[in-house]
A = this chain, B = another copy of it.
Amino acid sequence: MKIIRDPIHGNIELNEIELKLADAPEMQRLRHISQNGLCNLVYPAMNSTRFEHSLGVMHLAGKVADHLGLDEERQDLKIAGLLHDIGHCAFSHTSDHLLSRFGFNHEENSSRIILNTGISDILNSYSISPEKISDLVTGKGNLSKIISSEIDVDKMDYLLRDSYYAGVAYGIIDLERIIHTLKLAGGEIIVGSGGLEAAESLLIGRNMMHQTIYRHHTKRIVESMFANAVNSLLNDGKITYDSFLGMDDIDLVYTLRNSGGYAGEMMHRIDTRKLFKRVFAEKINKTLRSFRSEISKNKKEIENKISDDAKIPRGFLLMDMQSSEMSEFKVLVEYDNELKRIDEVSELAKALEKAELERLTFCIYADPKYRDNVKNLDIDDYIQYTQTMLKKFY
């Protein structure tokens, strides 16, 4: 039994197999994958990694298993918690949509690693089924909800952890009470009766963290610049898909720094804090929302069109169409002996959901010297442009 000290959960215990897995190169790699991408350009103390988060998720998975009396599944659940982020690429979510260019996501990558690398050898040597772990990590089967769902141990750990490093109180959710309130009902993880307030506190914590941290506009600007830089290297073939999968933050930053051209310039700007600014912002109204997916799919073309119209060199104007998943509002709670979605029974949940939608914005970021170039921009023109463009294709 090895003990690792963690500022969020105190002592985290690892048994032999958990330690072997944590020491495996595929997990050690997560030491160099930042938990929050480039968030530290806004909150300088947010330097945590996917590695420490993975230990925390493992620890919480064990606690939930204990609470639910899942003695037999406990070891599998802990391992799934430990390995759930093993497929994350450099800079975590920042590079997620780059993966999606290849029709791939980080959970599938996790599954690939669990099934096909030294990880599966370790699992097999302890008679643990890699397939079972992969299923738990990729959302197959009811118990996978403990690892990933509307109210999962992943979220509990990162909300607490991120607020600790950011130095804000918002994420401080009542962990013990939430875990105590969880129940298994018909294969779903639900919030038992009497737990509504604890579940609301999770929604509130998440809401405040999104507002002040995850969606901070400077963070979004930096991430847009960074993603566009990586994208250009992928387009130019300077990084291949396979090499990208193997990179950690160090490899990727070094490659960007030394690649010259647009990518090199963007990385240099980030390194020396010569950032783009938000030069245009508009709330996402109904019209915009109905075109969101089309606009997102054709981001590059529309960005180019706006750049050309505004006489801004391509790549120096970036578009950001915010969206929201908000799966948390689907949490099921026991209420008057029925199972209901939390946003059906809680005024607070309903309001948070509405507030979140209303806060979504369409933004344009650019080198500040081009600020004047976009001051007369009319978003409707580009909605129309999108429509025309779509007609051309279909």
A positions within 8 Å CB-CB of B: 3-8, 10-11, 23, 25, 28-29, 31, 40-41, 43-45, 47-49, 51-52, 55, 164-170, 172-174, 176-177, 180, 197, 201, 204, 207-208, 211-212, 249-251, 253-254, 257, 271-273, 346-348, 350-352, 354-355, 358
Contact = CB atoms under 8 A, between A and B. Distances in A.
Contacts of A348: 207, 351-352, 355
A44 B40 contact: no
Contacts of A165: 7
A351 B347 contact: yes
Contacts of A346: 355
Counted per complex, copies of this chain come to 4
A358 B196 CA distance: 15
Q: In the complex, which of the residues A40, A44, A204, A358 has the most CB atoms of chain B within 10 Å of its own CB atom?
A: A44
Nearest to A35: B47
13 contacts: A5-B43, A5-B45, A5-B166, A5-B167, A6-B45, A7-B164, A23-B273, A31-B40, A47-B52, A168-B174, A204-B208, A251-B254, A346-B355
A271 B7 contact: no
Given A6-B44, A48-B45, A358-B347, A174 B166 contact: no
Given A5-B166, A7-B167, A204-B208, 20 more contacts: A4-B44, A5-B45, A7-B45, A8-B45, A11-B180, A25-B273, A31-B41, A31-B44, A47-B49, A47-B52, A169-B172, A170-B201, A197-B212, A201-B208, A249-B250, A251-B257, A346-B355, A347-B351, A347-B358, A351-B354
Given A172-B172, A173-B169, A346-B355, A48 B47 contact: yes
A59 B49 CA distance: 26
Nearest to A179: B11
B351 A28 contact: no
Contacts of A350: 351
